[in-house]
Structure 1
Amino acid sequence: MKAVQIMSFGTADVLRINDVDRPAPGAGEVLVSVEATSVNGHDVIVRAGELKMVSGRRFPIGVGLDFAGTVAATGAGVEGHRIGDRVWGMVHPRQRHSVAGAAEYVVVSANRIAQAPADLSSVDAASLVVAGATALIALRDSVRLADGERVLVRGAAGGVGTAAVQLAHAMGGHVTALARDRHAELLTDLGADEVLDHGSTTSDGIGPFDVIVDTVGSELNCYRSRLAKGGRMVTVGLSASALAAIAASSVHGSRRIRTFSANPETPLLRDMADLVTSGSLRPVVDSVYPLADIAAAHQAFERGGVAGKHVVTVPRGSV
């Protein structure tokens, strides 16, 4: 089978589409025939060598955090999943994988997949796995957004940002989206009450907010200062400066900056499917690339300016 692998750390040019043996599921595992995956920040920083503590330094390293497809085989003891079921899921972000979601087949633990929403294509489903899970954990579990609270979503036009705008709106928040001005119409349609152009907006001119969801990872202390009393801030845009700001906020301030690594299992994936079915969450896809062009998808992600997700399809026999 074909699988995208990192053969050395570096730019998108280090990605290779290799012929590898098709894996077989062990006890408690499922083999998924992948139809689509998406590009996430995790994929890019692993490829660049910035997560060696997770990925290790032994090559090859698999690419692709999330996936949508169909169950091709099940291991011993697996219940609730049958061959042919349409599923979505995610490989474990804190484990090393030689083959991951950007492959024709991937093996994962059965507790890392769930039935994909029936009305979503595999492209749309793949676009929501990491983005939707991250936004849901951030708003529901990390900051516990309450009805009527004022929410700022920073980096609102990206994958996590577009999901966070929708979920914050569905949870009764008054949503301010900070993004490029050209995305204002999209973000308003997704539920933003106000859209601010990040190119002309400074942190000291806005707020206060009860909740801030940051997907950028810079200037965190500046935005933290815009929290109201009792306000909460969470960031998913990790960098060296972001980690320093998180550490400082936990020591010196009551309004600490939270962070987490999205690691959804079956119950959360089912919750997301319910949100899709109810109309509270819908996919936003910026562009679609075939597996053969995954390097171009990574390059597009790194250029920024995205509205939603870059999705990679996995057609059989076309690479």
Structure 2
Amino acid sequence: MTDRTMKAVLFDRYGDPDVLYVGRVPRPEPAPGEVLVRVRAFSVNGGELAARAGKIRLLTGRKFPKRVGLDFTGEVAALGTGTTAFAIGDRVWGVLGRTSGFGSAAEYVTVPADRIGRVPEGLDLVDAAALPVATTAVTALRDKVALRPGERLLVRGAAGGVGNAAVQLGHAYGAEVTALARAANLDFVRGLGATTALDHGTVRLPELGRFDVVLDTAGTGLPDFRRLLAPGGRMVTIAFDLTRPVGSLGYLAVSVRHGRGRVRAFSGNPKRTDFDDLARHVTEGKLAPAVDRVFPLAETAAAHRALEAGGVRGKYVVRVDQAPG
């Protein structure tokens, strides 16, 4: 009798990384317009740390067990009715959409066919798992602030998953990139293309000068960074302050609608065209995966713990090893 279950990373209560465990859940079947992906790897992202810890429980609720995992790489294992854009065996990457929640930390995941793209030939699927969230950096710099050659770009959180991609892309787009990161990571971000790399713990913001574009990945102290904008400058953030969520979200709501130098805020929700752009950037040599460390599925909790400790250089990636069949 065929086993229709699969391994997945679960948790039965909010808490620290130790609440995570590998259990078994029903293997999903693709609905019309969906694909079933055999997951080879995924990365650990800040949003799922907050969800696991219960910091956004008003959004995630109290129904357990819950899942983790936002992005993934793998191969198409089955096609839902009417799905023609992909074939079984295609190497793909993707990010679960806003309505899907978490769940890519598993042996299989279903996803709408318009939410994935093909991984460039020659790129290892484990290394590639560091890049799906880079679509956020692509969208931020391409669409939200329209970064232009010669402009001054400040990237806050430059060594992280989105930040390191923003540094690489900013350099490729011809901007002068200033990167804020931990002292231990300054050489790393310089190697990505930053013209200037500064320790975020000791830098005095008023002494930085003015920037045409500020990309923030932390969500805290936004008014201070907004003051760094030059006339006509643009700022985009992909986070809000979890220690004061109401005030932080309120500030963003007001800023988006009013005033010069408004702060644009968004969360990544990429579609196939965004993954096509991502693949093109990789193929053209503008963007490369930055993998700090690879963990096995059974050590997903350790990957969460490492990200919470800070100091990541790129992404922590979790490898999903599966038996044939």
TM-score with structure 2 length normalisation? 0.93
Can you list the C-alpha shifts for 1:218-242, whole angstroms capped at 9, x where unaligned? 1111111111011111111322254
Q: Offset of 1:252 from its aligned partner?
A: 5.7
Q: Distance in 1 between matches of 2:30 and 2:169?
A: 35
2:44 pairs, out of 35, 39, 45, with 39
Corresponding residue for residue 237 of structure 2: 235
Q: Distance in 2 between matches of 1:316 and 1:136?
A: 32
- Secondary structure in structure 2 of the residue aligned to 1:217: coil
2:265 pairs, out of 223, 242, 259, with 259
1:307 pairs, out of 290, 304, 313, with 313
Conservation of the 8 A alpha-carbon contact between 2:33 and 2:80: yes
Q: Distance in 1 between matches of 2:318 and 2:300?
A: 7
1:247 pairs, out of 253, 256, 260, with 253
Corresponding position: 1:140 with 2:157: no
- Secondary structure in structure 2 of the residue aligned to 1:129: coil
CA pair 274-222 structure 1, distance change in 2 beyond 3 A: same
Corresponding residue for residue 169 of structure 1: 171
Q: Distance in 2 between matches of 1:162 and 1:295?
A: 23
Corresponding residue for residue 220 of structure 1: 222
Q: Offset of 1:92 from its aligned partner?
A: 1.4
TM-score with structure 1 length normalisation? 0.94
| Corresponding residue pairs, total | 315
2:37 corresponds to which letter in structure 1? V
% of aligned pairs identical?
Answer: 52
Conservation of the 8 A alpha-carbon contact between 2:76 and 2:89: yes
- Secondary structure in structure 2 of the residue aligned to 1:213: strand
Q: Offset of 1:181 from its aligned partner?
A: 2.6
Q: Distance in 1 between matches of 2:256 and 2:35?
A: 40
Can you list the C-alpha shifts for 1:96-126, whole angstroms capped at 9, x where unaligned? 45xx110001111111111111121112111
Can you list the C-alpha shifts for 1:120-160, whole angstroms capped at 9, x where unaligned? 11121111101x11111111111111111100001111111
Corresponding position: 1:74 with 2:102: no
Corresponding residue for residue 287 of structure 2: 281
Conservation of the 8 A alpha-carbon contact between 2:185 and 2:311: no
Can you list the C-alpha shifts for 1:267-295, whole angstroms capped at 9, x where unaligned? 10011000000000111111110000000
Pairwise CA RMSD:
1.7
Corresponding residue for residue 126 of structure 1: 129
Q: Offset of 1:21 from its aligned partner?
A: 1.8
Task: Give 1:22-61 correspondences, 5 Å limit.
Answer: 22-61=27-66
- Secondary structure in structure 2 of the residue aligned to 1:26: coil
Give the stretch that moved more between structures: 249-258 or 223-232.
Answer: 249-258
- Secondary structure in structure 1 of the residue aligned to 2:209: coil
Corresponding residue for residue 183 of structure 1: 185
Q: Distance in 2 between matches of 1:89 and 1:33?
A: 12
CA pair 34-179 structure 1, distance change in 2 beyond 3 A: same
Conservation of the 8 A alpha-carbon contact between 1:161 and 1:215: yes
Corresponding residue for residue 90 of structure 2: 85
Give the stretch that moved more between structures: 290-299 or 245-254.
Answer: 245-254
CA pair 53-268 structure 1, distance change in 2 beyond 3 A: farther
